[in-house]
Chain A
Amino acid sequence: MSMEKELIRHLLKKPVTLRYPFEKLPPVKGLRGKHVWDSERCVGCGLCARDCPSSAIEMIGKGLTAELKIYLGRCLFCGQCEEGCPRDAIRLTQLYELAESDRKNLILEFKREST
C-alpha cells in the first residue's frame, strides 16, 4: 500500500510519454547519425575504410580523386571514421531517422564535383 500517495500524485501530472511521430526531442549535440563527407578536405588516405569495424565504408579510387561509398545498413554508428580521419573530412550529423523501405536507398554515394 506504500505507493498510494505516489499514484495519486501522478494522476494529476501529465504523462511523460512522448507521442513520438508528433512530438520529438531535439537531438543532442554530438549524437552520431548520418554521415557527411567534405570532398575538399579528403585526401583519400583510406583510414576510415580500414578501421571501420563492419566494413561499411568503401573507398573507390585512391588519393585526391578517391570517392566514398557508405553502406548505412551495415554501419554501427560508432564514429570511428570521424575519430580516425586526420583531416576531419568525414563527419556524423545529428540526423537519426534513417529508416528506408528499400535497401538501395541505404547506400550513400559521395561523389567529387567534376572540375
Chain B
Amino acid sequence: MVQEAIISLLQIVIFPGFLFLILAAFFYEWVDRKFVARLQNRYGPLHTGPRGLLQPFADFLKLLSKEDIIPYAADKLLFSAVPIFLLSLPLTALFCIPIINSTALISFEGDLILVIFITTIIVISVFIGAWSSTNRFSTVGGMRACLQMLGYEIPMTIAMAGPAIVAKTLSISKIVQWQTTGLWFILTQPLGFIIVTICFLAELQKIPFDIPKAETEVVAGWLTEFSGKKLALLRLAEDLELVLAGSIMASLYLGGPAGFSFMPPFVWFIIKLTVCILILSNLRALFARFRIDQLMRGVWKYLTPLALLQIILVELIPW
C-alpha cells in the first residue's frame, strides 16, 4: 500500500511526471531550434553543452536572473498569475497522455475533452495576460490570439473526434489501446492528421500562424510586457505546449507508446513525439506569415468543411 503510494508519487514528480516533462520541454526546444537552423543552413545553438544542448536551459536560467518589471498600469495580480497558469495548464494536460505504457497517469472517460478544453483555456489565459499588461501591442496581440482561436479550434475539435468515434471512447489512453490492436489512425484518417497539424501550428503560434506575436507588426504581441522570471516561465510554458501538441498528435494518430516489442513502449513514444515535432518545425520554416483575415477565411472556408468531411468518411467507412 505504502509502496504503491511512493511509486505513484515518484511517477508524478519524476518520471513521467514534472521533471521528465520539463526536461523534455527543454530538449524539444533545442530540437526545434537546431532543426530549423539546419534547414536554414545555419548552426543554431552551438556552445552551451554538447552541440548547444543546454542552450534552452541556459536561456531559462539567464531570464530567471533578469530584472522582473511589472508595468505601472498593469493589473498586478493577474499579470503575475498568468505565467503560472500558462505553465501549469500544459503540464496538467500532459498527465492525461500515456507515455510509458498505454495507460496515462490520469485516465478517465472524457479526458480527451479535458485536453481540448485546456488548449482553449491556454488561449484565454494568454488574453488575460495581454489585457492585464495594458500595453497597446499586448492588447492587440491578445485579441489576435483569441480571434485566431475562434478559427482553428472548431476544425481541430472536429478532426480529433474522428479517432474517438472509431475507437468508441473519449479517453486518450483507450484510443491508444485501440490502436495497439487496430491500424494507426494516420493510415485511416490522414486528412484528420493534416488538419490537426495545421491547427496545432496555430495553437502554438508558430509561422505561418504567429500572428499574435508577429514581431514586425506588434513587437512581441501579448508577450511584450513580460520580462525576467515571468518571461522565463512563459517560454517554458511554450516549450511544454510544443511537447503537448506533439504528444497529442503522436497519441491520437501514431498509436502513442504502442510499437514492436523489441524496444520498450517509452522509446517508441519518444520516437513518434520527435517525428511530430520535426514535422511542426519543418512547417515553421516553410511559410510566410498569414494575415489574420486570411487565416480566418482559410480556416472557415477550407479547414472546417474538410474536418467535417473527415467525420463523414469515418462514419461511412467501417474501420
Contacts and interface: CB of A to CB of B under 8 A. Distances in A.
Q: Do chains A and B touch in the complex (CB under 8 A)?
A: yes
Contacts of A1: 286
Interface string B170-212: 0000000000000000000000000000000000000000000
Interface in A1-50: 1, 3-4, 7, 10-11, 13, 15-17, 19
Contact of A7 (B42, B46, B285): B285
Nearest to B35: A11
Contacts of B282: 4, 7
Contacts of B37: 15
A11 B39 contact: yes
Contacts of A13: 41
Contact of B43 (A4, A10, A19): A19
Interface of B: 37-43, 46, 282, 285-286
Nearest to A4: B286
Contacts of A7: 39, 282, 285-286
Nearest to A2: B286
Interface of A: 1, 3-4, 7, 10-11, 13, 15-17, 19
27 contacts: A1-B286, A3-B286, A4-B282, A4-B286, A7-B39, A7-B282, A7-B285, A7-B286, A10-B38, A10-B39, A10-B40, A10-B41, A11-B38, A11-B39, A13-B41, A15-B37, A15-B38, A15-B41, A15-B42, A15-B43, A16-B41, A16-B42, A17-B41, A17-B42, A17-B43, A19-B43, A19-B46
Q: Is the interface of B mostly helix, strand, loop or mixed?
A: loop
Q: Is the interface of A mostly helix, strand, loop or mixed?
A: loop
A44 B267 CA distance: 78
A51 B128 CA distance: 63
A11 B37 CA distance: 9
A16 B39 CA distance: 12
A4 B39 CA distance: 10
User: Shortest 7 CB-CB distances between A and B: which pairs?
Assistant: A7-B39, A10-B41, A15-B43, A17-B43, A15-B42, A11-B38, A16-B41
B186 to A, nearest CB: 19
Contacts of A19: 43, 46
A57 B43 CA distance: 42
B289 to A, nearest CB: 15
Nearest to A10: B41
Contacts of A17: 41-43
Contacts of B43: 15, 17, 19
B79 to A, nearest CB: 38
A11 B39 CA distance: 5
Contacts of B286: 1, 3-4, 7
Contacts of A4: 282, 286
A53 B316 CA distance: 81
Contacts of B46: 19
A3 B288 CA distance: 11
A7 B284 CA distance: 11
Nearest to A7: B39
Nearest to B44: A15
Contacts of A10: 38-41
